[in-house]
Amino acid sequence: MWGGLSVGMVFYLLFGIAPALGNVLVSFTNYSGLPGSPTSFAGLSNYTALLTTEGPGFVSSIIDTLFFVVGVTVVQNVVGMLFAHRLQGQGKAATLLRILAFFPIVLGVTVVGIVWLLLFDPESSPAQALFGAFGIQSAFFGSNTVAMPLVIIVQVWQNLGFTMVVFIGSLKMIPRSIYEAAGLDGVTPWKRFSSITWPMMAPAVTVNVLFAVIGSLTTYNLIYILTDGDYGTNTLGMLAFNSGFGGTPDLGLGAAVTVALLVVAICVAVPLALLLRYRERRLLA
Amino acid sequence: MSSSSGMLLINPRRVWRLTSAILIGLLFIIPIVYVVMISIESPNQFLDHPLVPPVPPSLQNFSSAYQQGDLGPQVLNTIIYSLSAAGISTGLSLLIAFPVSRKLIRWSSGVYGWFVIGICLPLPIIPLFIEARDLHLYDNRIGYILLHVEPGLPLGVILLTAFISGIPKELDEAAWIDGAGYFRYLASVIGPLAWPSIVIIFLYSLLAVWNDIIGPVVLLASPNLFPVARGVYSFYSSNPTSYTLLAAAVMIVSLPVALLFVVSQRQLLRATMGMSR
């Protein structure tokens, strides 16, 4: 027993916990990651660089992150809830559409990213043909105004199936008898949703909101494919990656951004999780 | 008279259900149809009228993309990486989850808590890169597999701990305590009982390894070691305007996961439905 357990724990400590803490250590150095370059203790210089104007756009990155996280969380949950209501049935069409909506998760970010780059190519693509017909020209993923909304749409498109299926699972667990009792009182569909369905779905809302917030806050792989953080899509995760491995690699600076991201993630996720749990207890009591 | 009024009285609820189903279907099918369509267009046809279905279709793009992108070895690499990393990860999840769930060790809930935290942490790619270089795990197959075991552990341990706590403890006493070795007990009793969740954990970590793009960009340098995600992305970076070739490459690398999804979609969707308990 101890043998199996300790092998597992060694993996987790060595490749999970240690590097997470290691970020803090690396952030106090000027390690470039390039072979042969000297590394020394750099104190807080990486952190002060982030907050000065010479830094790599840390403040604007926080604004981009805010747009991305709020945009993805709101759109994914609202649309996921709507689709869940439409596709919760047992019919053939609903079953097929549920499977279809889940497919982009399986395809992965690289394939999904390239597919949307093809769909929105500024030179020749369906989007270019469609908007061109109205005389609208846009660089799409290369446009400062359109890139962020598009990136949000693709992120939601990829993960919508998951959100929707979690909501459907929760919808199916609501006992029919509750609706029948409410039906006798002659309530409107909206009232039915707001007073029965929505509160009963509190656990699914917790899961979906937390997954959307944590996922959009900490992952940047789709942004890496679509824009590489350019055109107003430089979220904190993307900034950390490009500071560490971009044109002028600086692992110390990248680690400092990651530490900042970690602090933001904890400050957002922990209170949010507690709030959503409190909401569940209140609504389901 | 009655028949004509039947034609006019279209049920608005039915129309709405049909329209909404078609719109949802189009949202997910148009991107796929477009990629499939241009993958069988010749480059000349794509230049003239890209949005018209090609007659006759051409399969030239597939062989060109396969050769130019060196996709065959990459598909093989990806299969090796994701099967082994997901296999080790799932096995280790079970080896951690069982003692944690049975509270056979002193800090069971503390250990469990560390895995819950693990789900929320951003991937510490910079220290991982440094570790990989120092431990000689950088740019080689074994290292790449070992580095991809950990990301699957938090979800695996959490799901399996929950599942195993539903398996009666009396079974432990009957089989394992009375002579059968610990690992034999796990393999012959717990394994089969927990099989549905083991399959889901395996599938989710397999997809995570298969689709990882940051890992192969940071942890690999030799093109002959690339998995498909990195390979098809490099192919895109060097041929961003070879639209038809790119579409064919995307289809080739998606074929294995698409087939896997067809056979496993029922389990995947059912498990996801249960995520909110």
ipTM of the complex model: 0.91
Q: Give the position of tokens 């609208």.
A: A136
Range(s) for CATH 1.10.3720.10 in chain B?
Answer: 70-238
pLDDT value at residue B1: 41
pLDDT at residue number A142: 94
CATH number of B70-238: 1.10.3720.10
Distance CA(A12)–CA(A14), nearest Å, equals: 6
Q: Could you tell me the CA-to-CA distances from B240 to A102, B5, B232, B244, B248 in Å, in that order?
A: 27, 56, 11, 10, 13
B188-238 residue pLDDT tens: 888 999 998 999 999 999 999 999 999 999 999 999 999 999 999 999 998
Contacts B17 to A, Cβ<8 Å: 86
pLDDT-derived band at A84, boundaries 50, 70, 90: very high
- The reported pLDDT for the residue numbered B189 is 85
In the predicted model, residues of chain B with pLDDT beneath 50 are 1-5
Q: A251 and B126: CB-CB below 8 Å?
A: yes
Give CA A251 to chain center in angstroms.
Answer: 24
Q: Which two tokens stand for residue B69?
A: 């992108």
- For the segment A143-153, the average pLDDT, to the nearest whole number, is 96
What pLDDT is attached to residue A189? 82
Residue A168 or residue A187, greater confidence: A168
Which of A129, A255, A258 has its CB closest to that of B51? A129
Question: How far lies B56's CA from each of A1, A188, B60, B62, in Å?
Answer: 63, 55, 12, 15
| For residue A40, pLDDT beyond 70 | yes
Tell me what percent of the residues of chain A surpass a pLDDT of 90.
Answer: 74
Place of tokens 């079953």: A95
Distance from CA of B213 to the nearest CA of A (A): 7
Chain B residues whose CB is inside 8 A of the A172 CB are: 273
What's residue B261's pLDDT? 96
Longest dimension (CA), chain B: 86
H or E element in which residue A257 lies: helix A251-284
Residue A132's pLDDT band, with cuts at 50, 70 and 90, is: very high
B233 contacts A118? CB cut-off 8 A:
no
Query: Is the CB of B243 less than 8 angstroms away from the CB of A26?
Result: no
Cβ–Cβ < 8 Å for B67, B235: no
Average pLDDT, chain A: 91
Cβ atoms of residues A69 and A213 within 8 Å: yes
For A118, which of B247, B265, B276 is closest by C-beta distance? Answer: B247
pLDDT in tens, A172-212: 999 888 887 776 667 788 888 888 899 999 999 999 999 99
CA dist A139 → A125, A142, B30, B126 (Å): 11, 5, 21, 32
Q: How far is CA B213 from CA A10, A57, A133, A282, in A?
A: 25, 24, 36, 41
Domains along the sequence of chain A with CATH: 57-284 (1.10.3720.10)
